[in-house]
C-alpha cells in the first residue's frame, strides 16, 4: 500500500476524514505524540491498528473526541464518574486521558475486553479537525511500532508505518513530546496510571488526593497485573542498551568519560553535551522538564538512526512535575537498569 503524506490544511484534513470514515488508518498529529487513528466505533478498523503496530491485543486504546458532547452523542460511557466533569473542564482540550465505565458503542477491540474506556479531547487543532471531518470518535494509540519510542514528527510515523497505513497527516512537531497523563476514575479513588503533560499536582488541585499506581515508578513483579496494560510492556526502547546514571553533573561526566569507548554514547542535558568525550544526544535543559519531555523521543530515535551506539549512559531525570513523565518513559527504555552514584 502507498502511504499518502497529507498536509494539515483543509484538503488534507478532509481527505484524512474520508479515509477514516471508510475504515482506513491515518497517522494524526496531537499535542503529545502522533496517533495511529481509526474509527473507534468500527471493530475491524481498530483491529488493523493492532496489526500495523504489532501491538498485543490485550492493550486497550484511547478514544479521541473533538467536543465533550461527543461522549453522549456516540454513547461512549455508561455513567459519569465523580470528578469527571471537573477534570474535563479543567484540562480539556489537552494532554489528559480519563478512564471511565465504558458505554455500549465501544467495541471489544478498543477496550481489550475491560469494562472501561479511555477518553481524551486533544488540544491540537488538526487533531480535532480530523475527528470532526471523520464525524466519528477516533481510537488512536501512539503511531510507533509496538515497543519503539513514540513519534513526535510525521517523519517518525513514516519511518515506522510507511506502506502499512493509508496516510499520515503532517501537523508539525508535537508540542509536549510525551504521551498524555492517564487517570482512572473507574475505581474507588482517582488513580494516576501514566504520568504525562498534566502533572500530578494539577490533577490533585482539582480532585484532591490522587493515588499513584505502582507501575508508574516501579517494575511490576512477575505475575502482578497492570491497572494500565501498556505499563507491563518494555516500551520506548531504542535498539542500543540504555542504562540510567543517577548522579550530579560532575559525577555523571566523570562516569561517562571513564567509560568512553567505541559504541558508547551519552543521553544527557544540553550543558553536558560538550563535556562528555563520546557521541552525545541532548534530552533538553537540566531544570526545564518541558524541554526534556519535548526532546526525549526524538533523541531516542536519533540514537537508533545513527546505529553507532551499543550502550547509552542516560542521565536519570528528576521525577518532579512533567519530569515524572520523562522518568517513567526513560526508566522503561532502560529496562529499569539504574546505576546510583548518589548512594554511599
Ligand atoms: O498522548 C496520548 O495519549 C497518545 C496520543 C495519540 O493521544 N496516545 C497514546 O496511546 O499514548 P497508547 O495506546 O500508546 O497508550 C495508551 C495507554 C496504554 O498504556 C493503555 O494500556 C492505557 O492507556 N489504557 C487505555 N485504555 C485503558 C483502560 N480502559 N484502562 C486502563 N488503561 C488503559
Ligand atoms: Mg504508545
Distance of CA 25 from the midpoint of ligand 1 (Å): 17
Query: For the chain, first and last CA: distance in Å?
Result: 57
Which architecture does CATH list for 4-216? Alpha-Beta Complex (3.90)
Which residues, including other chains, have CB under 8 Å from residue 133's CB and lie 6 or more apart? 13, 14, 16, 17, 18, 20
CB neighbour burial string for 199-232, b if at least 16 within 10 angstroms, e if fewer:
bbebbeebbeebbebebbeeeeeeeeebbbbbbb
pTM of the model: 0.96
Per-residue pLDDT band for 227 (boundaries 50, 70, 90) equals confident
Laid out side by side, the sheet with 138-139 consists of: 4-7, 167-170, 26-28, 35-39, 138-139, 62-64, 116-120, 96-101, 181-184, 191-194, 211-212
Q: How far apart (Å, rounded) are the C-alpha atoms in residues 181 and 195? A: 5
Residues in the chain, total: 344
Q: Is the CB of 168 under 6 A from ligand 1?
A: no
Q: How far apart (Å, rounded) are the C-alpha atoms in residues 286 and 242? A: 19
Q: What is the pLDDT of residues 56-114, one digit of tens each?
A: 999 999 999 999 999 999 999 999 999 999 999 999 999 999 999 999 999 999 999 99
Residue owning the nearest CA to atom 3 of ligand 1: 180
Half-sphere exposure of 167 (CA within 13 A, CB side): 24
Q: What is the pLDDT of residues 231-265, one digit of tens each?
A: 766 678 888 999 999 999 999 999 999 999 999 99
Burial environment of residue 196 by CB neighbours within 10 A (0 to 12, 13 to 18, 19 or more): buried
Q: Which residue has the cell 467536543?
A: 67
Q: For the chain, what are the domain ranges?
A: 4-216, 241-343
Whether the pLDDT of residue 344 is over 70: the answer is no
By DSSP bridging, strand 26-28 and strand 4-7 are unpaired
Select from 34, 169, 220, 229 the residue to mutate for testing ligand 1; criterion: most ligand atoms less than 8 Å from CB. 229
Q: How many CB atoms lie within 10 A of CB 297?
A: 28
Q: Is the CB of 60 under 6 A from ligand 1?
A: yes
Output the CATH code of domain 241-343: 3.40.50.11030
Q: Which residues surround ligand 2, an ion (CB under 5 A)?
A: 142
Per-residue pLDDT band for 207 (boundaries 50, 70, 90) equals very high
Phi then psi dihedrals of residue 257, to 5 deg = -70, -30
Residue owning the nearest CA to atom 7 of ligand 1: 35
Q: Would 4-216 and 241-343 be classified into the same CATH topology?
A: no
Amino acid at each position: 500500500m502507498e502511504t499518502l503524506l497529507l498536509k494539515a490544511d483543509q484538503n488534507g484534513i478532509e481527505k484524512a476524514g474520508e479515509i477514516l470514515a471508510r475504515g482506513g488508518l491515518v497517522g494524526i498529529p496531537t499535542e503529545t505524540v502522533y496517533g495511529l487513528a481509526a474509527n473507534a466505533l468500527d471493530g475491524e478498523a481498530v483491529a488493523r491498528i493492532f496489526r500495523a503496530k504489532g501491538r498485543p491485543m490485550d492493550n486497550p486504546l484511547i478514544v479521541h473526541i473533538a467536543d465533550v458532547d461527543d461522549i453522549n452523542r456516540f454513547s461512549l460511557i455508561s455513567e459519569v464518574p465523580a470528578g469527571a466533569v471537573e477534570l474535563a473542564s479543567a484540562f480539556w482540550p489537552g494532554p489528559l486521558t480519563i478512564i471511565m465505565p465504558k458505554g455500549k458503542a465501544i467495541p471489544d477491540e478498543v477496550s481489550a475486553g475491560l469494562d472501561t474506556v479511555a477518553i481524551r479531547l486533544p488540544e491540537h487543532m488538526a487533531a480535532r479537525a480530523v475527528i470532526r471531518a471523520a464525524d466519528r470518535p477516533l481510537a488512536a494509540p501512539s503511531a510507533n511500532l509496538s515497543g519503539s519510542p513514540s513519534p513526535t514528527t510525521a517523519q517518525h510515523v513514516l519511518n515506522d508505518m510507511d506502506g502499512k497505513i493509508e496516510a499520515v497527516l503532517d501537523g508539525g512537531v508535537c508540542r509536549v513530546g510525551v504521551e498524555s497523563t492517564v487517570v482512572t476514575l473507574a475505581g474507588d479513588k482517582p488513580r494516576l496510571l501514566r504520568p504525562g503533560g498534566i502533572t500530578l499536582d494539577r490533577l490533585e488541585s482539582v480532585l484532591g488526593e490522587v493515588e499513584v499506581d505502582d507501575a508508574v515508578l516501579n517494575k511490576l513483579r512477575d505475575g502482578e497485573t497492570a491497572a494500565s496494560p501498556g505499563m507491563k510492556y518494555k516500551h520506548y526502547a531504542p535498539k542500543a542498551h540504555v542504562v540510567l546514571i543517577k548522579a550530579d553533573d560532575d559525577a555523571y561526566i566523570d562516569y561517562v568519560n571513564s567509560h568512553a569507548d567505541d559504541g558508547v554514547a551519552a543521553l544527557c542535558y544540553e550543558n553536558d553535551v560538550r563535556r562528555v568525550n563520546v557521541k552525545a544526544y541532548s534530552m533538553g535543559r537540566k531544570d526545564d522538564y518541558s524541554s526534556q519531555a519535548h526532546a526525549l523521543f526524538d533523541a531516542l530515535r536519533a540514537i537508533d538512526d545513527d546505529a553507532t551506539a551499543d550502550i547509552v549512559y542516560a542521565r536519570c531525570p528528576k521525577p518532579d512535575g512533567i519530569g515524572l513523565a520523562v522518568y517513567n518513559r526513560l526508566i522503561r527504555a532502560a529496562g529499569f537498569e539504574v546505576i546510583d552514584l548518589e548512594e554511599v
